[in-house]
Structure formats: structure tokens, C-alpha cells
Structure 1
Amino acid sequence: MFGGVAFAEEAKTYDGFADYAKENQMAQSDVGCFVNKCGDQTKELFSNPRGIKGVTCLGRCKGEQSCATRCFAEFGSDTLNNWLSCTIEDNDCVKVPKDVDNSAENVGYSTAVRNFDPKTLTGKWWKTDGLNPNYDLFDCQTNVFKPSGDEARELDMDIFFRLSRPKEAGGGFWENALTEHMVVDSLKAERTMHTEGKMYGLTFDENWFIIGESDGKGDIPAFKLVAYKGHTLQGNYEGSFVYSKEPVLPEAAKPAVRAAAAKAGLDFDQYQRIDNTCPPGEPLNDAGAGTGTSTTDWIDLVVGEGGVIDWISPGWRGEYNK
């Protein structure tokens, strides 16, 4: 390090659980840890069918990131978040990759708006078009920004979206509400804003780049074109979306959005329209339903075939050794 010669094997990096498991880096989970160190969180989680459904959904994902994202959107709850946080990050009940390569999220966009005024984000915006189907395309998406702390540099963002259940499964939708805290970066930074915290029980870091905007005072309706890059223990991710003051991006704004996307190396034709029709009806969310499950059942849901450890530690039974 200090001018000497080091003969060390180059450190490997991994993009989340699945890649890590394929190199047989996952160790068998410590079942006792779930009870001894996270007993309260475990009891609370498995006393509710929504928590059980969330666990079994994650188990079927086998570490795959987009699948897990949809499980959290469909079955996410504070009890599931608290349990994952306690068992994965706080107490290492399961061995997870600690050397994920996150360098890509710091590579910015040369076309990002300079001298961005965060006050122009205040209020309600619709996400109308998105690029990443795993993160951007949930139905009925609104974000509400409010000043927080240092009003010149900080915003709280209330997030609302729906996840539709397929018609062949009965139709309907689940509703989800989250809050993030955004910090506006200095003019010298490549990113416009950043946020960090915990979402779905896992620590995340995310950089935002405002790569196009209109204040709506002229002929071009108000919009913000956002690109983002981030990571959790699930892996790295990136995408882009459009904010509009209307549920559908006005036609008059599209040429400016298209041009801004092209300058950033993105193709607006690859974006998909988000369904913001928001049909009326009662959500399927039912956090208080049912009577829970037994200790034997929850142990099986943790370490059994298709249990949550199959999401956190795909291959822990030795499948990748064959």
C-alpha cells in the first residue's frame, strides 16, 4: 500500500445474491439466529399470512432481483422489512456478499441539468413513462415532494403505486406507500440528488440525475426527466422515468423529453407508458387477515424448499456444486 509490492489475489465483486451463490460463497444459514437474535421480529412476521406470503414469494425467486422486487411490491409490510433487516443486515443470520461492485452508480450523465432548483419539484407529480420494467412501471404512480430540513437541499418524497393482480388470478390490485428522503448535491457533483436508507428491509443507495426539464411556463408542459443508478444487497440497478403534472405525458412535452433523453444516450422509444388510470376499487391489502402459523411451519418457510433462505442464499444446499 505504501510503495511496497503486494502479492494478493484480485478481489472479486458480485452483483447481488444470485451471482454470489453460483460461486458457492453462501454459507448455510444459522436457524438459531432467527430465534435468538431476532425472535420478536420473527414472531411478528409469522403471525400474519401476508408475512408468510412474502417469505414464500421471495423463496421462489432464488436470488433473482426483478422477481424479488415484485414480491416486495405485492407482499411488502413493516413486519417483513423489520425481519429482513434484523436477520440479514443487523445480525448476519445469513452470509451475504459484502463486496458487491457498486462503482457503476457513480458514473454520471454529462447532460445533467446544472443549477437545479429543488423547489421546482415541490408538489405532486405523476410518473408517466419508465425504462426499467422491474422498477419503473408499476400502475398508478404518484410522488409528492415536500421540503425537509434544509429547504434548499433536502426533500421528502412520498411514493404511492399499485401492483395489479393478473385477471386470470382474480384481478384487483395491491397498494403500496413508501417515503424517501432526498438530498440535493453541490454544483460540482455529477449527480443531481441522492437518497439512502432502507427499503424493503435492505439498505440502499441511489443517485438521481435530472437530465431534462420544463417549468411549464412556455409552450412545453412541465416535466422532469430523471435517470437513476443505485444498489442494495440484491444487486445494482438503474433506470429512467418521466415526471409530469398530468397522469399521461402531454403530446406537447414529448419532443423535448425525446431530445433530452437522446442527449443522455437514451432512447425514448424504449420507455413504456405507465398505467395511471387508477380504476376505483378496494385494494387487496389485508395486513390483519388470518390467524398465523405454527413454529414448525415458520421454520419450514425459512429453511424449507422455496423458503426465504432460497432467496437470500440460493444454492446453500449445494445445488451449484453438482
Structure 2
Amino acid sequence: MQLDYSDSLIGGGFNFKNPNATQTPIGFAPLRLRRSSYGCGARAGENQRAENGAVMVQSETPVRIVALVGDGSVSPLKSTPWYDVMLHTAKKLKWVDERFEMLVSTDNSYRAGDETKVQLREALSNANILMIVAITNQETVRWIQANSQDISNIICFDSSPALTNKLGGTFVQTNTAGSIFTKLPLPRPKKLKESEEIARSVFEAWDRHNSDDIRFCLLVIINAYIKPVPILNNLRAKGFSTLNCMAKNCGPQILNCLLDPNCRKALQCLNNCSPVDQVCNYRCIASYESPQLEEFSLCVLQKHNCLELDAKIPDKPHVTPMVKFRGEDLDHEIAEDLFVGWLGSLDWSWRVVAGQNPAYDQFPCQYQLFYRGRAKGSFWYEPVFQVKTLEGDLVWRRRKYRVKRAKVPGTFYFSVLDNGVVSNECWTIVDVCDDLSWGLFHYHGAARVAGQSYTGAVLVSPDGVFPDKRWGPRLGSALDRCGIKEWELFSVDNCSCENPPLGLPEGSGLHYKIEVEDSEDSSVGVGDG
């Protein structure tokens, strides 16, 4: 039997005696309400109503989630137990909002002693969301059905078909092929249609099988039915004001985009994505990028912000940089040299072995080029990577980031114009071993006018091969400092990387302090995996 309050791991928990009370986590100062763009129109302590009619809870009220997982069930995330995956998800929810509380329990908890059973029932009675994962035992199914009738939001994954999904109090048929509404020529109720669209976004994200998208599933439901989630405050065009802004300022760019096949496909592709689904959105952009798409985005989003979006760089998790390299205190010059890495001995600084972010770290054949510019103090980063387009073609892409030192050595500010939209990022050198056989870099970022914020990390090596097992404990410690589990990383495909468009601008500088052993006897070469 396992029953775990995720907050007990990080300092909080449900208040079963008074479910309406906000419990201050141990070691945290009392939470203060902060005004934000989505809450300016409502007074503190006043519930809001979403466009779909769902009551949005007051901002200081916790969002309570119960996750029930099949006892002993195994996830597709490197065969990690679902119980462990959901405990980590509970921790990652806290990075978004300290008031997101999730109890994680196996499905045999209701068979345990009286106290445990009472706790689980009380948690269900106060839950805003019930998440059911890999539960097929029919006795358990009947118990859940009997004890979850008053929960407004229930979402079921890989579980018995007898368990039904419910969003905003409306039962949702996820298999639309079997829905009565698809068999009869009747219009579906608006509320049901909206719930089905949200359910589709949730299940598409779940099927990608990564930790960010598991959290995303819950955030989408919270944002739609319980309270606004600032990082998902990315709605589609805001009616007349958006259209007026686009027509007034960007007529030629819109026309050129519609006349260009790739730009037109990009817009059609983006229109089929949930506006808060970064994986889907960036796949569309990377698949169909073109000068016309860049001009369109630069005008509509970057210059005029016609969608009236905003996003801030996340401040959690807080990741600290390494402090020493080869026995010396890390300074800005050494930190830059670590980014430069193998460039000079090889044609690239680093190759990406594995990444954590499903939208930005998953591309095949990623080469990193870090170098000093001709201008004094300038530093640049150019990633080169492959994209398998949505039409099945393999194409190379390249970006160019300006890099500035942050206050603490080993931390940097990155900025890039990516298909017409500026992204700003904070990078941290978490660890690089003395022989440069591997490194771990973490980043937080936001594309403000696209309404997108994100975090991620990349594990790098000179040849794109995973570090030797002897580095396991040190790598595990570095990942822990990022709040990342090893099973969250997915390997980059480095198998077919022929003829990457590498090369540096004339006059570029490399290392300033550290020496990199020449790898004359190395078999590493362009295209090797």
C-alpha cells in the first residue's frame, strides 16, 4: 500500500479538518496575492467564471488533485513506476504554483487500514481533479465510481473503459468514433464541444509520453475549469482587436504569407494545434519555416503584438552553476571556454546526447557551436540540428543566439530571433567534467509575444554518446540540482548526420584560458554517432 502526500515532500499538505483553509507550508513565508493580467478585473477573494461557464476558484485557494495509479504499474518513461512519475509530477506542479497540491496513491490504498481509507475518501471529497492512471481492477473501478461522483474533473489514462472522463462537470466521450453525436446529424452542445476539444489536447499530450506533457495535461484542466494558469495564458486571436491590428499594420506580410506554400502550410498547421501546446506549435514552425513566415511573425507578433500575449521566463526550478573547474574557481572566462568546448579540436563545441524539453531538445543530430565574436566581449551560440518535417523530409536548421554574461559566473543570458519571434533565455552551466567528456546545461526561457515560457536541459559530449557509467553518480547529482530525473531525458538520434552546415564566421575566437587536448587519435568525425 502506498499513500503519499506530495506536499509532505516539499513542505505542505491538505488540511482535512478544514478543506477550505490555505495551509502555509513549513519553511515558506505566507503567500501574498499578486496582481496579474488575468486577475485585474476581479476583487480578491471573489470567484471568477471562465468563458466555458466553469467557476474559477479564488486565487488564494489551493487546487487539490488526487492521482490514483495502478499498484505496481509501469510507465513508458524508461519503465519507471507510474507512482514515481506522478510523485515527480506533483513536485513540478509546485514550480508553477505553490497552491497546486497533489496526493498520489496506489489503487490498493482503499483496502488499507481505516485511517488510510478515510484519508483517501476525504481527499476525494475535496478534490478538484481526479487523475486515474493504469487502473483496470474491477473491484477498484467500482470503488472509484462510488467515491468520485461529486468530482467535477476526472481524467483517465490507460485504465478500464468503465471509468469515464468528466471535465467541468460534463461527461466527455474521448472515442469520438463511438459517440452518439457523430452518428446522428445533430449539433453538439457548445459546452460538450469545448470539453471534447480540451480532452483531445490532453490526450494528445499524454500520448507523447514525457514528464512535461504529463504536467501539461493537468495544467490545461486547471486553466480551463478551476483557475487561470499564467503560463497557459495564451488564447487565440482576441476577435476584432487582433484582426484590426493585423490588417492595419501587416497587410503585405499577411498577403505574402498566404501566397507562399510553406508559410500557408505553417499557418494551417498552427491552427490545428492547441495554442498552449508548445510541442505541436514548434513542430509546425520548424517544418515549414520560410522568409515569408519570419516576416509575418515579425510584424504580427514581435513588432505589433497583435495577439496581445505575454510570457515571463520561469523562475523555478532554481538551478545553481558549478563553482570550480580543474580545481580553479569558475570565472566568466572559464565558463565561456566550457561552452566553446571541443571547437578547434573538432568542428563543433558539443553534440547533444539527450534532452529534457519535448519541444526544443528532441531534434536529431544537434551540434552546438559556441565562439567569441570579433567585437570586444561578444559571444555567440549557433545550434545546428535536423528536423524531420511533418511531410517526412529531413532538413537542416540553424539559429544564432547572442550570449551575454549574467552576474554569477556560469550563468548567461541568451537571445535569438527565431522565425520572427524573439526568445530570451537564462542558461546555467550545471556541470562539466575536467576532461570535457560530458557536460550538462540547463535553461529557462520565454518567447514573450508568442505567450510561451519553457525550461529544459541538454546533456552534451564531444561525440554525442552517453557518458561512461562511471560518471553515473556525478551526472545524477547534476540532474538533481536541475530537478530532473534521469528517466525524463530522451536520447537524441545521432545516427544519420551527414554533412551538417557547420563553420564559423571569419575572425571568430575560441578558448581564452583552458586548454583542450587535441583529439588527433579520436575517431569522432562529422556524421559519426
If the length of structure 2 is used for normalisation, what is the TM-score?
Answer: 0.44
Residue in 2 that maps onto 1:84: 297
Please list the CA deviations of residues 86-123 of structure 1 after superposition, one character each: whole Å capped at 9, or x if unmatched: 0123234x33234x454526x63235444251123222
Residue in 2 that maps onto 1:316: none
Mean Cα deviation higher: 243-252 or 128-137: 243-252
Answer yes or no: is the 8 Å Cα contact 2:242–2:307 preserved in 1: no
Distance (Å, rounded) in 1 between the aligned partners of 2:286 and 2:470: 30
Gaps of 5+ in 1: 1-7, 283-322
1:28 aligns with 2:253: no
Residue in 2 that maps onto 1:3: none
C-alpha spacing 1:279/1:210, structure 2 compared with 1 (3 Å): closer
Deviation at 1:140, TM superposition (A): 0.8
In the TM superposition, 1:70-219 aligns within 5 A as 70-92=283-305, 94-98=306-310, 100-104=311-315, 108-113=318-323, 114-116=330-332, 117=334, 118-122=336-340, 123=343, 124=348, 125-148=350-373, 153-165=377-389, 171-187=392-408, 192-216=411-435
- Which structure's CA Rg is the greater one? 2
Please list the CA deviations of residues 199-221 of structure 1 after superposition, one character each: whole Å capped at 9, or x if unmatched: 222222100011110242xxxx5
Gaps of 5+ in 2: 1-32, 39-228, 324-329, 501-529
Distance (Å, rounded) in 1 between the aligned partners of 2:401 and 2:312: 24
Distance (Å, rounded) in 2 between the aligned partners of 1:21 and 1:264: 30
* Count of residues in Structure 1 that have an aligned counterpart in Structure 2: 260
Please list the CA deviations of residues 186-232 of structure 1 after superposition, one character each: whole Å capped at 9, or x if unmatched: 33x7x61111242222222100011110242xxxx522201110111
Answer yes or no: is the 8 Å Cα contact 1:15–1:236 preserved in 2: no
Distance (Å, rounded) in 1 between the aligned partners of 2:388 and 2:470: 28
C-alpha spacing 1:210/1:86, structure 2 compared with 1 (3 Å): same
Answer yes or no: is the 8 Å Cα contact 2:404–2:414 preserved in 1: yes
Residue in 2 that maps onto 1:49: 261
Deviation at 1:281, TM superposition (A): 9.4
Please list the CA deviations of residues 117-156 of structure 1 after superposition, one character each: whole Å capped at 9, or x if unmatched: 11232221101111111111111111111102566x5421
Answer yes or no: is the 8 Å Cα contact 1:225–1:243 preserved in 2: yes
Mean Cα deviation higher: 244-253 or 172-181: 244-253
Q: Percent identity of the aligned residues? A: 19
User: What SS does the corresponding residue of 1:160 show, helix, strand or coil?
Assistant: strand
Answer yes or no: is the 8 Å Cα contact 2:438–2:467 preserved in 1: no
Deviation at 1:33, TM superposition (A): 4.5
Residue in 2 that maps onto 1:69: 282
1:248 aligns with 2:273: no
Residue in 2 that maps onto 1:296: none
Distance (Å, rounded) in 2 between the aligned partners of 1:74 and 1:9: 39
User: What SS does the corresponding residue of 2:235 show, helix, strand or coil?
Assistant: helix
Deviation at 1:69, TM superposition (A): 1.1
Whichever residue aligns with residue 175 of structure 1, its letter is: W
User: What SS does the corresponding residue of 1:139 show, helix, strand or coil?
Assistant: coil
C-alpha spacing 1:112/1:281, structure 2 compared with 1 (3 Å): closer
Whichever residue aligns with residue 108 of structure 1, its letter is: H
**CA RMSD of superposed structures (Å):** 3.1
Deviation at 1:264, TM superposition (A): 3.9
Whichever residue aligns with residue 351 of structure 2, its letter is: W
Distance (Å, rounded) in 2 between the aligned partners of 1:130 and 1:38: 37
1:278 aligns with 2:496: yes
User: What SS does the corresponding residue of 1:46 show, helix, strand or coil?
Assistant: helix
Deviation at 1:259, TM superposition (A): 3.0
Answer yes or no: is the 8 Å Cα contact 2:356–2:457 preserved in 1: yes
C-alpha spacing 1:281/1:173, structure 2 compared with 1 (3 Å): farther
C-alpha spacing 1:43/1:27, structure 2 compared with 1 (3 Å): closer
Whichever residue aligns with residue 141 of structure 1, its letter is: Q
C-alpha spacing 1:111/1:102, structure 2 compared with 1 (3 Å): closer
In the TM superposition, 1:249-268 aligns within 5 A as 249-251=466-468, 254-255=471-472, 256-268=474-486
Deviation at 1:74, TM superposition (A): 0.9
Answer yes or no: is the 8 Å Cα contact 1:120–1:215 preserved in 2: no
Please list the CA deviations of residues 33-52 of structure 1 after superposition, one character each: whole Å capped at 9, or x if unmatched: 54542233234323321111
Distance (Å, rounded) in 2 between the aligned partners of 1:252 and 1:103: 32
Deviation at 1:236, TM superposition (A): 1.3
Residue in 1 that maps onto 2:438: 223
In the TM superposition, 1:304-319 aligns within 5 A as none
C-alpha spacing 1:263/1:11, structure 2 compared with 1 (3 Å): closer
Answer yes or no: is the 8 Å Cα contact 2:319–2:481 preserved in 1: no
